[in-house]
Structures are given as C-alpha cells and as structure tokens.
Structure 1
Amino acid sequence: MAIYFDKQTQTFYLESKEISYVFRVNEFGFLNHIYYGKRVPREDLRYSVHVQDRGQENFLPGGGRTHSLNQYYNECPTIGRSDYRESMIAVCDSRYSRVSELKYASHKIHSAKPALEGMPSLRGGKTLSVTMKDEYNNSEVILYYTVYEDLPVIIRRADIVNKGKNPLKVDRAYSMCLDLNDNNWEALTLHGAWARERFLERTPLHHGIFTIDSKRCSSSGQINPFMALCRPNADENSGEVIGFNFVYSGDFVFKAQVNQFEYLRVVGGINDYDFEWELKKGEKFSTPEAVMVYSDCGIGKMSRIFHDLYRTYLINPRYVDKPRPIVINNWEATYFDFDTKKLCDIIDSVKGTGIDTLVLDDGWFGERNNDKCGLGDWFINYNKLPDGLTPIIDHAHKNGMKFGLWFEPEMISENSDLYRAHPDWAIQVPGIKPCPGRDQLILDLTRDDVVNYVIDVVSGILKNNDIDYVKWDMNRTMTENYSEHLGKNNKEMHHRYILGLYKICEALVNGFPHIFFEGCASGGCRFDPAMLYYFPQIWTSDDTDAYMRTFIQYGTSIVYPLSAMSCHVADCPNHQTGRTTPFASRADIAHLGATGYELDTTKFSPELKAQVKEQVDAYKKMENLVLFGDLYRLACSQDGNYFAEQIVSKDKTLSHVTVMRAMAYPNFTVYRLYLKGLDEKAIYHVEELDLTVSGATLMNVGIIVKFGGGDFITKTFTIKKV
C-alpha cells in the first residue's frame, strides 16, 4: 500500500519502493514532518521528534515551554503563531490579520488522483488529502500528497477554501514545504539568460534564506523553476539529493532557509512578490503542483527519475512514444526574406535525406516583414505569399513531408490591425508608455474575450490549412502589470494570465490532436513541466552553436528528458556566437534530443546533402534511446575540456555515447572515458573500436577516445550487448 495511516500513533506513511515520507498529527493538532528519505520499515518514529525548552522562544498557550512551532518540522507552516521561518500559506482576514493556526480536521486516501482544474498536472499515482482548519479566519487548507509506487517521487499541492462569510485575501499560496533536521546541504540551481539557458550552479546553504525566483510572468531563462538539495559530497553517481520542480509557467519562488537551530526549511510555489487573491465565501484557490524527487545515488539518478516521471505521467501520451518530426526550419536560412519559391526550394533540397517536416517560421502573416509589426494579425501575408500557404503545403505533402507553422499567439504589435482595433487588449497602464520589448506588447489573457479571440483566430488557420506541426513562440516577458477589468484585484493578474494561457493551450492541443506542438520562448526561456504537459518538446535555446549547446543541453537534462529538447544543426559561423564548428559535431550534439536542421539547405553540395542523409539515418537508429533511454552524464563542459553523455536502453542491450573535446592541445590527443549503466556481467561490442569486452570492463577500465587534431571534435560510439 503506497499510503497508510496509523490511527494509534496518528502517523501517515507515504511509501514507494525506494522512499518513505512520514508525518504525524501531534497532540495539539498540528501536522509535524518526521522523515523523508530512503525507504524504512513502517515503525513508530515519534521517538525521533525532539523538542526542548529553547529559552528565549515564544510558545503556544497550553503546551508548556517546549511547544513552540519554531522548533517543529511543519507540513504547512503559517504566520503569527511562533514559527518565524518562511510560511507556506498566508491568509488575511477581514480584520486585516494574517495570524493563522491550521489544525488537522480529517483526511482521505484516494485511489484515483483528484483533478486539478485549469492547470497542468501529472497523471496517476495514489493521493492523500489532509484537511486543515483555521478557526481564526474560517479558512480551510487541503494538502494533497501524490505518491507513485514505482518512483521515489512525492507531488504536493494545496487548496485554500473560504469557509466563512467575509472575504479573505490570500497573500501567499505556496505548493510545498519540507523541513529537514540539518543544514549540511548545497543548493543546485539552473541559471542563465537568453541564448545561455540552464547553466549549473551549486551554492552552500548558510544561516538565512537562499532564494531563486522569477517575476516575469514566465518561468524564465534567467532561473529555471528547479532546485535540488545536494549533500556536499554528492556528485553524478553518489550521494543524497532531493530535487524540486514546479509544474507552472509563471512567477515562481523556491527558498531554502537555515534557522538558528540548524534546521533547514524549503518552501516553493507561486511567487508572492506581486500576488494576492481574493476569496469570497465558498471560493477556492488551488496551487500548482510541486514535484519532489529523492535520490540516494547522486544527481544522475535524480535526473533519470525526473525523466521517467515526466515521460510516463506528464507528457501527452499521444506523443511520448512516437518518433519525433525531423524538421528543416527556415528561420536561420531566410529570416523574414522568403517567398513561395524559396520555401519550395528548401523542400526540394532535403528530398531523400530523411528530413520529414518543413517548419515555416516567423513572417508569413499580416504585414510581418520585420519584427516591428504584425503580431496579432493571424491572416496570411498575400504580398509575400500571393497564393497563400496551400502551394507550399501541397509541395511538402507531395514530396512526402509534413508542414509546420510558427505562431506567437500571446503577443500583439502596436503596428498591427489588431492593436488599432483593440488597443485595450494589450497589457499596459493608461498614461504610462510601455517598456520596449522586441517592439511588441503582450495580449491580456486575463480577459475571456481575448482568450477566445486567440483560440478562434489560431483555430481558423489550422482548420483552413493542412497543418501538421505548430511551433508556439513567446518573445517578451511582462512589464506594466495591469488589467483594467481586474480593478483592485490587479495582484491576481499574473496568475490569471497563466490560467488564460493554459485555457488556450488546452483548447488548441485537444482541438487538433493530429497536430504536433513544439514550445518556444525566445528559445528555452519558458522550459518547464507545465509547458511539457501541452508541448512534448521545447526549443531548447536560440543558441544553436554546438559547443554552447553542450552546456545548455547538459543543464537542461538535469531535470528534463532528452526527448523534450528540440535541437537543430545550424549554420556556421554560428549566428549567435560567430563560432565555427565541424558539421559532424553539430549533428552529434543535436542528436542528443529531438533533432532537426536550421540552415539554408539550398546551398548544400551533393556531398553535404549525403552527409545529412547519413546523419538522419544515424539518428533514427538511436531515436528510441532518445525517447526512452536512461541518461548518464559522463563529463560536463562547465568542468573542463570535455563533454560526454551516454544513453542506455532500459534492458541494457544498447547504448550510445557522444563525446566532444573543446580545445585541441599538442601532445594530448586521447581521453579515457568510463561508461555507466551497463550490465556488469554482460558482454558488449563497441562498434567503432571493434572491441568486445564485459560491461564491468567498459565501466571500470573504460575506453580510449582518440580525437586527432582540431577543436570541437566529437566522437560517437554504439555499444551493443552480444
């Protein structure tokens, strides 16, 4: 049984094959956390709860000097009753008091997971709901815990319900809290910027509060909604690690706080920086889900758990096990300068290579001949494409290819017919000139009429054209946080915007089940689990330089599966870095994800076209590994001169290894690589080395990688069980 309640000790046990998560209702009615970690027997763990007279501490009435919430490990901490650490929930009542005391009322074990309305959530698992009541402000908080027997995962969220007559204001609505009994941890986070997303950073925790957050109404490229706690000795293959990921695409925060007693508290959820939510009588606010993953074998195992979780329980089953489109995207080949002939020439140029989808990027609609106009005008630019999309689509289909189209549905240009007709649909404050951002503004998705317009206009294009693939972009984050119709409740705006976005995604993805959707946001600036719920892959970064992609894809893989990363072979010198890398290296790195091409293939020589065919054939042979395999990161570009990743099939019969050496040094041309994840007792054949040895030998003695001369050289190896 994955969830068990011991009535005698009032203790909850949440269990999978590998972990235990234990908490109890204490004698005063509070939920006290006891244990989270490696699976332990279902025993009475109350002995491990230690409280003492701390001297200069406040304590609750009637419980003596040890009854201070500041020294308990709490499942749902609040404000004003002796716990001075970060709260999970904060509610303001009609007296303007935020003093709150949530106590256990009841619980229920659900065989089927309760639905989360209006937001993405993971499927499956068994769920415990615990109802907490606050007699001071007449609120009710329902805590949800979902557990999977096959994975060491806990998923948390909460509902906040107004059970009183007077309105309440929710000032903070985090999704989770985890209290741990020591502070010997480091925080692993993924920081970045546009074209430089998800670089690794480790920070020792200290007294005070370590915070990562986004205030952009986007999960952002600056910091991903992910944080892990790592023991100082934890690495890829060993040590204790707890990972947290937020299933949300808007403002978020994770905080790790060490108090004076060396206790560590982690809280996370919707960023309360500019948040408030009014609850009238009987109304409910639901938080997004937060995912917690436990690993006792390092960061690598944590990643593989996240990958399995998202492939099995998050990504749309329609797509998760299907071969991905191998696209040729016209953007870096043409930018805005294209016509029907140019696009048909691109189709002709890749015939016979195995590339199977043309994606027409920005510039096909409105008066969109540059990035200063046209967003929102989702009608065909007949000046550029006199016969519309039909000749291009027909030419693609005639040549056995599919056709994809770029949209940026959330945006509006001031120079557009839509803006001239509905200036009030753009997010801005009357009388304040908006901050420029790529010469565009954001549509107010808090409004039902705007949401319905976006659904209708995009649906019209998809219904009237034989579209197979949609690339969904978003190139501006929010400023001027204001919507006139919200009035005094404008602090609800960011979350209402995200709910409007999800409504659009839900309508379009489910309304056109035959269409494959890819997400994008200035590259990988909204790469989060909630987007993966709708879009099975996301454009990983606008930076297509093969060397920089080793950093970006490595960091992305800390949480997200390879199949979720859209990775293209691009032109050189690279359009973002100016760097030139070998064509083969670009393909080898792009094959560590959902691969494709983004360059002018009409200029290819017969020899280069033949190389593309070889590359696509090679990718197809390893695609099942990308879709389903276990990832082992062997070397990181941030740590030195080498990058290496290995993918192993679940049955350990097939493996693929990719290695890149960045800089060539004289008299130093070989590299020893130790493989992972193989069956120690099995015999394997390394095709490229014509080497047949045991899995134990490959993992302990390793293989010798010979690069020869040149920078940014890659080598790949196919390892098959004999």
Structure 2
Amino acid sequence: MTTPAESRQWTLRGEHTEYTVAVPGHGRWLELVGWGPHGVTAGPSPVAYTGPTPFLTAGDYAPVEYATDAVRPFAGAELVVELPTGDRRVSWAFQDATGDDRQLRVLFTDPVTGLRAGHCYRMADGTDVIERWVELHNPGDTTLLLVEAASAGFTMPTPHGARVSYQWGQWAQEFQLDHVDLGRGRFSVGSSQGVPGHLFVPWLAVRDRVDDGPTWGVALAWTGSWEISARRDTGGLTRVSVGRHLADGPLELPPGATLTLPVAAGAYSDDGLTGLARVWHTYQRGLAGDRLDRVRPVLYNSWEATGFAVDAGNQLALARTAADIGAEAFVVDDGWFVGRHDDRGGLGDWSVDAAKFPDGFDAFIAEIRAMGLVFGLWVEPECVSPASRLYARHPDWVYAVDGRPQTLVRNQLLLDLGRPEVAEFVHSTVDGLLRRHDIGYLKWDFNRPRTEPGRSGPGAAVDLDGAHVANLHRIYARLRRDHPDVTIEACAGGGGRTDLAMAAHADVFWPSDNTGPLDRLAIQHGFLHANAPHLLSSWVTDAPGLFDPRPRSLAFRFVLAMAGVLGIGADIRHWDAAQRAEAAAWIARYKEIRGVIMRGEVHLIGGPDQERCAVQYTAPDGATVVVLAWHTGRLHGPGSLPSRPVRLPLRGLGRQAVYRRGEQEYSGSHLSAVGLPVRWTTDHDAELVVLHRVDPGHVVSPRYFTEPASTPCTK
C-alpha cells in the first residue's frame, strides 16, 4: 500500500488481484486507478481521463468511486441528499484516510451541511473480492433526506463495448443466465419487493465485448429492495452503481444519526464468467466460516409427497423408506400446525396439530430419530393468515396503509418485522420450537413480497425495508448463536431471497420450486455462476418440467441433484424395488464425493442450451476430480450411424499428471485438449465420473486410447 500522505493513493491486495484508488489534487472525490491482477497499476491507468468534457463535468467522465449529484450531476450518482429547503447538490471535500493493504477508510465531508461520508474498503481474506460500503453521519442540527443512497460505484474499462451478464427469472424459472451488449446507455436490474425477488438476482458481470478474458462482477449483501445499473459512457468506460432501491421514498438522517449502507462486493477474474464464479465461490465459503465444515445432510422433504395432508402415519412411512435408501435428514414441510389444511389458514398460530400427531409430536420426532435421521421442520414465521388467532389479536402487526385495502398473496399477509414486538414474536416462535423439540434442520420460507408500503397508526416516517432486513438478520444471528448445530435452509417461494447477506446467515438456499429435470438444469447453471455449491439445495422428484417437459431418467435427476446438496422430494412410497435400489446406489456414491462437491474448484462446461453440459469439481489438493454431465439435446444416430462421443474439456489439471477412472487412464493434457468422452444413448442421459490422480512417476498404460463403458455409477 502506498503510504505517503502527499500521494493520496492506496492499493488493497487480494489473493491474486489488486484494487487501487486515489484522491485527485482537488480533493473532491475518490477515484479508481486500477483493478485487476497484481501489478495492473504499474502503468498508465486504463480508466483515467483528463480531456475536455463539453456539456458535462469532469466528474461525469471520471472513474468516481462514490458520487453525489454535485460530483456527477448528469451521468448518475450514488448519493442524492435533500435539505429541508429542497436544496440538493451535496459535495465532498477530502479529510483523511486510515488503513493498510487489506482495508481502507477515506473520510469526506460536505462543506455546507457537514455531512460526513466514510468510504470503506475491505479485501476479504484469501479472496479476490473487494467489499465496499459507506458510513454516513449527520453532525448538523437539521434532518437530511437521502433521496438516493447506493453503496458503491465500480468502474470497468470496456473500449469495444460492454457485455453485461445478468440473471432474470420468475417463480419456477429463477437464475436464467443472459447477456446484453451495451454499446452506449444504461442497463438496470433490481427489486422493489422488499426481498431480492424472483425477477432478477443482485449480481452482475461485465466484460469487454470482444475480450472473453478479464471479467468484473458486482453483488450486493442486502435482503431487501435493491438496484444495480450499468452505464457505458462515450469514453469507453462502464460504471456499475449498486445498492439499495428506496422503494418507500427518501430516508431520513436526523441530527446526530449514522447510517451504514449495505456491503457491495466487487470481484475480478481474468478467466471469464466461469473464473468469476470461482471467485464468488471462494468468497461465500469464507462467509460460511466454520459452518462450511458441517456436513449438509442428504435430506428427504415430504412436501411433494403429501402437501398439506401431513399426519404421523404418512410421514413415518416416508421416513422409513428414506432411511432405507440412505437419507440422513427428514423434513416435515408445510401442514404440521393447527389450522393448516390448505394455504388459507394457520400461519401465525405455530402450535402442533395434535390431531395429526395423536401420540404427541415429540414421540413422533423420537421415531424419526430412532431411524438414524435428523429431524427437520418447515416454518414461515414472517407471514400470517387472516383467519389466524394471531391476526385477530394483532391486526396492526401487518404492513398496511391506513384506509386502503390489504393485498393477499398466497392467501396471506406479511408481518411488519421492523416492529420490535413483531421481531420478538418471530424470534421467540422459532427459538421456542428449536428449544422444545429435537430439531436439527430448519427450512425458513417466505412466500410473498411486501405490497403495502406503510405501517398502521401514527408515527414518524420509518425505513420499513431497512428495519425488516435488519431484524431478519438479527434473528438469524441469535438463532445461529443459540442453536449452532441446526442447519438452516433459506427459501422464498424458491429462489426469491438469495443475496450475499443471506449467504452469510443461512447454510443452504432453496433455488426454485421447479424440480423438473431440464428446467432445473438451467436454474442450477445460472445459480452456480453466482453461488457456491454448498448453498445449492436440489431434490430428486418425479415432477415434470414446466418449460421443457422432455422426460429424463432417474439417473439424470440424481446426477443433477448431486451438483450441490442432495435431497429427495418424490413420493418414494410408490417407487418400486428397482428404483429404490438405484436411489440407494446414487446416494452412497454422493456421500463419497460430497466433500469434493462442497469444497472443490468448480468449472462450468458448456450449458443447458449446448451439446456440452457439465460441471467439474476438483478437490483442493487436486487428487480427485468429479464430473457431472447431462444430455441436453438430440442424439446423433448412436448405433445406427457414425458418431463420436461428446468430449468435455476439463480445466485446471496438471498437464503431465495422470488421472484414472476405473481401468482407464488419461493424461491431464488429453483431458484438457481433447476432453473427457461421454456417450449418450436413449437409456443413458447422465454421467457421474470420478477421476483419481495417479502418483507422480506413473507411466500411462496402453489403455489410454480405449474408451470406458458408460455406466452411471462407474468410478
């Protein structure tokens, strides 16, 4: 890190990258100098511009890190502050800076209002992710209105145009990876739903349009409404602004108050989108901390088998079969509590329905535990049914606008978690369940967005979105502290609540309610670009695809679900002996490789819309390589016409190393340059391949040029 005060330039160093910023001589802003591999700053800055700016200002062209509307009045700002008089145009003056090559805090103040802004940076340990946020403090005697309050602006050089990658979706079709070429202008994604939502993911990647190497990414640690926008200017820079979307209007910053904005994370890779994915994976493993070491169990979830019709008899029958095929946890989904016979009742009244468990709930759980299974339970504690006892007692606990009708989504209302009494109710509900019963797995669901932007009753303006998110995170933190051995799965009608903050609080995400095989393949392909495999919960079910209904084998469904944390959701009571035996074999194989899946270096090969579609996981020590592959398209006359196997080019292998699969051996060069062969037939549409690196000095045998037989469980 450069330390002389007169230079006012600082470099933060990651595992393979560096991020350099500087305060120009005028002291009006902090700007980027260079962002890329170590040494990238040793030369003229690729983002600097000192030429004329006709009809614009210098700040509109500069790579400003955090701009007010005075700094960038025309090209877009992160912070817009309004005074009680209606005046805007808060500006910055540099004060001081503290830090080292891992973290930095640069302080600016506004000469008129005295508003203080600490521009904060932290390079996450062992990663190439730069965390950025801003701390705003109002030392004055008048309330300031924050009209816009994003967390950061990131600048990328894109001289030939920007290729922006993003993920769109809807319920049952989340994480659809797509790209747009941005020649000039603005591209924006976000959510105003009070949650990250199904429509877009708080993640974006930017590359130069003609260069598939250097790739920059941004993501947001915020579980509420958000926005990410990319603007490409006429000078060849793309600037990405990321942060909260103030769906409820401006935020008040009273005298003496401090507001810390959410963390915006930036990532860099010189290996395209798949390299960027690995950077995010490393970062999210760090967010998990010691919880990454916890084995995420192979679970069975009862929802698709029984729906709301839960009773002790059908759940025990499912549990016995689940235990027989090798499941390690059994989760009772929706329908276990009083008043819950469909989606019109019960939420809020979190008492076990004694009629469904006549021998007692704890006796039921004991039977599950006696089978060797961890017991899990579904809850949706932030929502309430209008017919519930809770709503009758506390109608003021839900979001509402006085005098306006309330909107039902999935026949339920949303509790105002920002109220202290509501937060205490939600925490005590979940905490009480975990203390009273032997629960080792918790599925926390959230099946509706916030529609009413108000709180019933008189009172000052409230940051509803911020209060809800803050209390949600506090509740998770308390549960983590008091119940460290409970695995928590975050769900929001599927993948409606996935962001970096939840990745730090939850153990696993449920990415979609759609478990159809080819639909799910596309969902998981996008998911793994933004999220690590330890966060990916995936089930084997009998469900057909909603968007691509082509049938696929049970093997396909198992290999697909092995891409993350394996689960089963089918009605296994109706599986025949052969299906159960096949399931048991797949589960046993998964347990052998899940350590590599959870911690391995991930390479995404091809995609669901290509002939090649696979994911490679390489163990941290490089000794084991797991490849999951799926047949996505047409067959090319196998057995009737000349055809060759599909070749999957593997990555990150030792060129001279030798890798063995059963009796077959390959060199690393062969697997990288030629590829691992897989041959699809009408009966064989998925492959699990495990390669073991042979000790150094081993000579490749003549079997090198033979192809192994294709069987799903072949090592």
Same fold (TM over 0.5): yes
Which digits, 9 at most, give the CA deviation of each residue in 1:668-705, with x for residues without a partner? Answer: 56312222221111111123xx3212111111122321
Task: Give 1:666 shift.
Answer: 4.6
Secondary structure in 1 matching 2:175: strand
Map of 1:52 onto structure 2: 51
Task: Give 1:654 shift.
Answer: 0.6
Query: Structure 2 vs 1, CA of residues 234 and 629 (structure 1 numbering), >3 Å: closer, same or farther?
Result: farther
Aligned residues of 1:664 and 1:709 also touching (Cα < 8 A):
no
Which of 632, 641, 660 is residue 662 of structure 1 equivalent to?
632
Secondary structure in 1 matching 2:343: coil
Aligned residues of 1:105 and 1:132 also touching (Cα < 8 A):
yes
Task: Give 1:368 shift.
Answer: 0.3
Task: Give 1:150 shift.
Answer: 3.4
Aligned-partner Cα distance in 2 for 1:45–1:127 = 24
Aligned residues of 1:543 and 1:576 also touching (Cα < 8 A):
no
Map of 1:88 onto structure 2: 78
Matched to 2:667, the amino acid is: S
Aligned-partner Cα distance in 1 for 2:42–2:208 = 26
Which of 529, 534, 540 is residue 558 of structure 1 equivalent to?
529
The aligned runs of 1:310-459 (5 Å cut-off) are 310-312=284-286, 314-317=287-290, 319-459=291-431
Aligned residues of 2:627 and 2:688 also touching (Cα < 8 A):
yes
Which of 146, 153, 166 is residue 129 of structure 2 equivalent to?
153
The aligned runs of 1:251-270 (5 Å cut-off) are 251-270=225-244
Aligned-partner Cα distance in 1 for 2:378–2:89 = 50
Map of 1:195 onto structure 2: 172
Is residue 599 from structure 1 mapped to residue 570 from structure 2 by the alignment? yes
Which digits, 9 at most, give the CA deviation of each residue in 1:590-611, with x for residues without a partner? Answer: 0011001002222233322222
Aligned residues of 1:245 and 1:292 also touching (Cα < 8 A):
yes
Query: Structure 2 vs 1, CA of residues 535 and 625 (structure 1 numbering), >3 Å: closer, same or farther?
Result: same
Query: Structure 2 vs 1, CA of residues 427 and 48 (structure 1 numbering), >3 Å: closer, same or farther?
Result: closer
Secondary structure in 1 matching 2:20: strand
Query: Structure 2 vs 1, CA of residues 163 and 599 (structure 1 numbering), >3 Å: closer, same or farther?
Result: same
Aligned residues of 1:90 and 1:172 also touching (Cα < 8 A):
yes
Is residue 475 from structure 1 mapped to residue 447 from structure 2 by the alignment? yes
Aligned residues of 2:228 and 2:241 also touching (Cα < 8 A):
yes
Map of 1:546 onto structure 2: 517
Matched to 1:672, the amino acid is: R
Secondary structure in 1 matching 2:390: helix
Task: Give 1:109 shift.
Answer: 1.1
Aligned-partner Cα distance in 2 for 1:48–1:328 = 52
Task: Give 1:549 shift.
Answer: 1.4
Task: Give 1:485 shift.
Answer: 5.2
Map of 2:266 onto structure 1: 292
Aligned residues of 1:486 and 1:493 also touching (Cα < 8 A):
no
Moved more, 272-281 or 93-102: 272-281
Aligned residues of 1:194 and 1:522 also touching (Cα < 8 A):
yes
Aligned-partner Cα distance in 1 for 2:184–2:46 = 27
Map of 1:79 onto structure 2: 69
Query: Structure 2 vs 1, CA of residues 545 and 422 (structure 1 numbering), >3 Å: closer, same or farther?
Result: same
Task: Give 1:486 shift.
Answer: 7.2
Task: Give 1:522 shift.
Answer: 0.5
Which digits, 9 at most, give the CA deviation of each residue in 1:389-413, with x for residues without a partner? Answer: 2122110111111100000011011
Aligned residues of 2:495 and 2:511 also touching (Cα < 8 A):
yes
Matched to 2:618, the amino acid is: V
Secondary structure in 1 matching 2:190: strand
Aligned-partner Cα distance in 2 for 1:77–1:572 = 49
Aligned residues of 2:417 and 2:467 also touching (Cα < 8 A):
yes
Map of 2:650 onto structure 1: 675
Is residue 177 from structure 1 mapped to residue 148 from structure 2 by the alignment? no
Which digits, 9 at most, give the CA deviation of each residue in 1:117-164, with x for residues without a partner? Answer: xxxxxxxxx321111111122200001111146322211001110011
Which digits, 9 at most, give the CA deviation of each residue in 1:143-189, with x for residues without a partner? Answer: 11111463222110011100111111122221111234545221100
The number of aligned residues is 687
Aligned-partner Cα distance in 2 for 1:52–1:291 = 30
Map of 2:703 onto structure 1: none
Moved more, 693-702 or 149-158: 149-158
Query: What's the Cα RMSD here?
Result: 2.1
Aligned residues of 2:216 and 2:268 also touching (Cα < 8 A):
yes
In structure 2, stretches of 5+ residues that fail to align are 695-715
Aligned-partner Cα distance in 1 for 2:112–2:45 = 29
Aligned-partner Cα distance in 1 for 2:314–2:551 = 26
Aligned-partner Cα distance in 2 for 1:280–1:667 = 72
Which digits, 9 at most, give the CA deviation of each residue in 1:169-216, with x for residues without a partner? Answer: 122221111234545221100111111110111111132211111111
Map of 1:516 onto structure 2: 487
Aligned residues of 2:214 and 2:271 also touching (Cα < 8 A):
yes
Aligned-partner Cα distance in 1 for 2:546–2:486 = 30
Moved more, 79-88 or 209-218: 79-88
Is residue 503 from structure 1 mapped to residue 502 from structure 2 by the alignment? no
Moved more, 386-395 or 178-187: 178-187
Moved more, 96-105 or 381-390: 381-390
Which digits, 9 at most, give the CA deviation of each residue in 1:521-541, with x for residues without a partner? Answer: 111111222112111111121
Is residue 704 from structure 1 mapped to residue 704 from structure 2 by the alignment? no
Aligned-partner Cα distance in 2 for 1:213–1:351 = 42
Task: Give 1:339 shift.
Answer: 1.1
Aligned-partner Cα distance in 1 for 2:255–2:133 = 22
Moved more, 210-219 or 86-95: 86-95
Which digits, 9 at most, give the CA deviation of each residue in 1:37-62, with x for residues without a partner? Answer: 2222765858984323334445xxxx
Matched to 2:491, the amino acid is: C
Aligned residues of 2:518 and 2:545 also touching (Cα < 8 A):
no
Secondary structure in 2 matching 1:144: strand
Task: Give 1:72 shift.
Answer: 2.2
Moved more, 139-148 or 497-506: 497-506
Which digits, 9 at most, give the CA deviation of each residue in 1:563-605, with x for residues without a partner? Answer: 1100111124468976532111110100011001002222233
